[in-house]
Amino acid sequence: QAKALGKSQVRCFALHMNDRVQRRVELEGALRRAIAQDELTMHYQPQLDLQSGRLCGFEALLRWRRGERLISPLEFIPIAEETGLIREIDRYVIRAVFRQVEEWRAEGLDPGEVAINISALSLQEAGIVSYIAAEMTRRRLPPDIIKLEVTESLLMKNVDTAQQVMSELKALHLKWSIDDFGTGYSALSYLRRYPFDQLKIDKSFIDDVNVNPENASVTRAIISMARSLRIAVIAEGVENNEQLGFLVEAGCDQIQGYFYSPPLTAEACRQWLIHRGPPGPDEASANPARR
Ligand code: C2E
Ligand code: MG
Ligand code: MG
Ligand code: MG
């Protein structure tokens, strides 16, 4: 009797729980299990150097395999950030990517610079520096082939410790990229306070760069500003030849986007590195996530 009453109270509570909160609680639990059960996996999107016309590196992008579905980080990173689970995820990604790069190098393959997205929240704990240093030593990686990407908007909200952690990792010769640049309202002068090596122009500017004169001039201004600060510029979300043409003419250093390649599985990247070119149509269509 008492037991049944307890159960119905629990159910009642669940019913009254706000949908959003409930969904978040469920997702958080599932995400914790995903980390433990190794359902997270990395894809890698090739980056093109416009000067040499060659592959110059990859951006590691996280995927969550849930049964048949591959869930985009857009769906779960915000929740991971709210619940604090992001720190565990960022460490998982660091481990996974370092292990992958070690594997490629052991095969004699050269992936160029490999970029890892890291939440500004992970830069709030000083322990992240020794963690990264230890993993790097364990995998015998030269630090200057690893680049850490942090988004402009999140960084703005978490200034204090982040700045310290960033300089310490920079002192270890890792590189820094400011992601989604142009969306976070940061003053350009503010860039100088951080040890950035690269600036990534947000896709929203690139999308209509050929038809929107304002975005075209903002993009040109960002590129020339980065030049004068001696920061390399990469454009993200480049999908067509017209965008590429604009960026070449504007003096952009590198591009990334579906036009060059979608994110690929580690195996497809390996084939690319071995054959020095994109994987054939068979491999590309066997890749379930063309995002
Ligand atoms: P981001 O770092 O700005 O990554 C670029 C996103 O744009 C990726 O989405 C990529 O698949 C997508 N993309 C690339 N080229 C094109 C294109 O030409 N057109 C279009 N429409 N999209 C393109 P994805 O993989 O879903 O990642 C979304 C965001 O989630 C990332 O944005 C990043 O902020 C975050 N994220 C991804 N992986 C990780 C990770 O390992 N750790 C953390 N903390 N965040 C991650
Ligand atoms: Mg990124
Ligand atoms: Mg970005
Ligand atoms: Mg983006």
Residue 289 is predicted with a pLDDT of 44
Nearest residue by C-alpha to atom 23 in ligand 1: 237
- Distance between CA atoms of residues 288 and 151, nearest Å: 27
ipTM over 0.95: yes
Which atom of ligand 1 is closest in space to residue 180's alpha carbon? 3
The pLDDT tens digits for 100-134 are 999 999 999 999 999 999 999 999 988 999 999 99
Three-class DSSP category at 20: helix
* Distance from Cα 240 to the centre of ligand 4, integer Å: 17
CA dihedral 22, 26, 28, 32 (to 10 degrees): 160
* Distance from Cα 17 to the centre of ligand 4, integer Å: 33
* Distance from Cα 95 to the centre of ligand 4, integer Å: 23
Q: Is the CB of 263 under 6 A from ligand 1?
A: yes
63 contacts: CB under 8 Å, gap ≥ 6? 40, 41, 42, 43, 70, 71, 72, 73, 289
- Distance between CA atoms of residues 217 and 54, nearest Å: 27
Q: Is the CB of 201 under 6 A from ligand 1?
A: no
Residue 102 token pair: 């070690």
* Distance from Cα 61 to the centre of ligand 1, integer Å: 6
Decide: 80 and 64 in contact? Cβ < 8 Å: no
Residue 193 is predicted with a pLDDT of 83
Our mutation pick for probing the ligand 1 site, out of 47, 61, 72, counting the most ligand atoms within 8 A of Cβ, is 61
The pLDDT tens digits for 176-204 are 999 999 887 666 767 888 899 999 999 99
Residue 26 is predicted with a pLDDT of 85
Three-class DSSP category at 216: helix
List the one residue out of 215, 217, 175 whose CA is nearest residue 199: 175
Residue 252 is predicted with a pLDDT of 98
Q: Is the CB of 73 under 6 A from ligand 1?
A: yes
Ligand with smallest separation from the Cα of 74: 1
pLDDT per residue as tens, the chain (291 positions): 555 556 666 555 556 667 778 878 888 899 999 998 989 999 999 999 999 999 999 999 999 998 888 888 998 999 899 889 999 999 999 999 999 999 999 999 999 999 999 999 999 988 999 999 999 999 999 999 999 999 987 777 767 788 899 999 999 999 999 999 988 766 676 788 889 999 999 999 999 999 999 999 999 999 999 999 999 999 999 999 999 999 999 999 999 999 999 999 999 999 999 998 887 765 554 444 444
Residue 19 is predicted with a pLDDT of 78
Residue 15 is predicted with a pLDDT of 60
